[in-house]
Amino acid sequence: MARNGLRADSQNLRGTSENLSERESSSIGSDSEINGFTTEKQTDKYGFIGGAQQHTEESAQDVPPEVVRQREVKWLDMLNSWDKWMAKRHKKLCSENHYKHKTLNASENHQVQQIRAQDVPPEVVREREVKWLDMLNSWDKWMAKRHKKIKLRCQKGIPPSLRGRAWLYLSGGKVKLEQNHGKFQELDSKPGDPKWLDVIEKDLHRQFPFHEMFVSRGGHGQQDLYRVLKAYTLYRPEEGYCQAQAPIAAVLLMHMPAEEAFWGLVQICEKYLPGYYSAGLEAIQLDGEILFALLRRISTVAYKHLKKHKIDPVLYMTEWFMCAFSRTLPWASVLRVWDMFFCEGVKIIFRVGLVLLKNMLGSSDKLKVCQGLYETMELLRTVEPRYMQEGFLMREIIELQVSERDIEKEHLVQLKRWKETHGELRCKSPPRMHGARAIMIADPPTHKDLLQAPTIIVEPPLEDASSKQKKKGKNKREPPSNPTTETLSPAHPPSPTLQKDTPLQQSNQSLSSSSTEQDTYL
């Protein structure tokens, strides 16, 4: 694959095969309104205009191709002898498709019920929010002593209201931001390299064009995406820009401001997926060989089929891995995969790939419809919706036994083979960090780095010099006795500036004192 040549077909340019539900009204002041884009369609709870395609019971039960072929043969036979069939076997005509469809429904009914049961009740979401706020406020202690609990809660799903903040803490982006105050603003103010800026501008409209953040050309979402990607080319000029970075940055921007999204992108490129976006794409090719080697242990049938037809891993896994499945899975599944990816590292990406390959090519019956390279590639480009559903996919990922040690062991084997066939790697990447704990151990933060600064600060009302002087004199004349027994002259009513704890002052104090505890970026 050529440098920066990651291309997408017309279907993939839509950003993702989003699986969304519960449509909600578009928020006032969104890009679609600010930039003059008007539509009667509403946005769903993820911000996608009109909602995205929903993989309901009907779409989860698509009739297999081999069954379609059988039905075609039967119908051709009937049509060639139509008068006889209508006269003698009319009941068979009416029931031909009904029986097959009924059998297919029964076999998948349990799976569909499990998928639908994934909706989390609001009270459970509130409980999880409280637990996550407690963790985030003592992040260093939780990471040091109760990392397994954090891992379990990431597997259950991070609450939407805290997802952006949690991702930033898990990735180490929060520490990077605190240790590099003003760096993003400095990069943002620079003009940038024209050779990268032109490519970035062409890619902006391709990133999730049906999301309200990116629906308008030149809107706030596209502007922030441009700023983040430009800043990265200045931060790592030797690496520049790769098209697969755009969807990664776009997903981050859906959950956090531009500066935080920039440091999240830096951590993904340097810690989680080092070398993925460098010249030659050597790292992604190595990981493709690692994935193929692991598949031999997970699904021998799928491994032999791909090897028989000499299907190189980079043909089907490049977009999966480089975009962290953000352009492949339904949106609910994307968010759950990213929750686990930020906590546990790249092994989650490997597990998702192995789960899809095992379920798509893991049995002889499934291989009947893909007898050659072309048919196999078409099957892998259009993964069946039932295998990408949130409930099914999460269960398969958690149960699949592929560890960091397995990946690193296979990495050494494939690196040795690479050197024998291709020579030394041209791009020396930093070592890969397997998840949040490894990143924190490698770059231990201070407690100050983890403190959450408030995003809304209300200053108390300013008092002039004369008011301060009057207040000072009044305080000196006040006796220590009970103020209820004190009488005031009607000729000298109390000044409003002398009243303590007015409602406005109380509100200011509450905001300033509790903002650290309650602040989230929604």
What's the CATH number where 335 sits? 1.10.472.80
Q: Which among 403, 398, 437 has a CA at the least distance from the CA of 156?
A: 398
Whether residue 364 sits in one domain with residue 288 = yes
Predicted local distance difference test score (pLDDT) of residue 48: 79
pLDDT tens by residue, 435-483? 999 999 888 877 667 777 665 556 666 655 555 565 555 555 555 544 4
**Does residue 492 form part of some domain?**
no
Average pLDDT over residues 134-143: 91
What CATH number corresponds to the domain at position 249? 1.10.8.270
| Higher-scoring residue by pLDDT: 49, 439 | 439
Maximum CA pair distance of the chain? 114
Whether residue 390 sits in one domain with residue 329 = yes
Whether residue 407 sits in one domain with residue 307 = yes
Average pLDDT over residues 407-419: 91
Number of domains in the chain: 2
Q: For residue 211, what are the β-bridge partners? A: 48
CA 511 to CA 365: how far, in whole Å?
A: 62
pLDDT tens by residue, 255-279? 999 999 999 999 999 999 999 998 8
**Does residue 75 form part of some domain?**
no
**Does residue 346 form part of some domain?**
yes
- Per DSSP, the three-state class of 23 is strand
Predicted local distance difference test score (pLDDT) of residue 168: 95
pTM of the model: 0.69
pLDDT, the chain, mean: 76
Res 331 pLDDT > 50? yes
Q: What percentage of the chain has pLDDT greater than the value 70?
A: 69
Res 204 pLDDT > 70? yes
Q: What is the dihedral of CA 194, 199, 202, 208, to 10 degrees?
A: -130
**Does residue 516 form part of some domain?**
no
| Higher-scoring residue by pLDDT: 298, 93 | 298
Whether residue 413 sits in one domain with residue 304 = yes
Q: Which domain holds residue 350?
A: 280-426
Q: What percentage of the chain has pLDDT greater than the value 90?
A: 43
Predicted local distance difference test score (pLDDT) of residue 62: 52
| Higher-scoring residue by pLDDT: 194, 460 | 194
Whether residue 381 sits in one domain with residue 286 = yes
Range from 184-188, 329-333, 346-350, 451-455 carrying the lowest mean pLDDT: 451-455
**352 with 289: CB under 8 angstroms?**
no
Res 399 pLDDT > 50? yes
Residue written as token pair 């939407």: 160
CA 45 to CA 163: how far, in whole Å?
A: 14
Confidence category of residue 29, pLDDT binned at 50, 70, 90: very low
Range from 103-107, 130-134, 152-156, 340-344 carrying the lowest mean pLDDT: 103-107
**Does residue 299 form part of some domain?**
yes
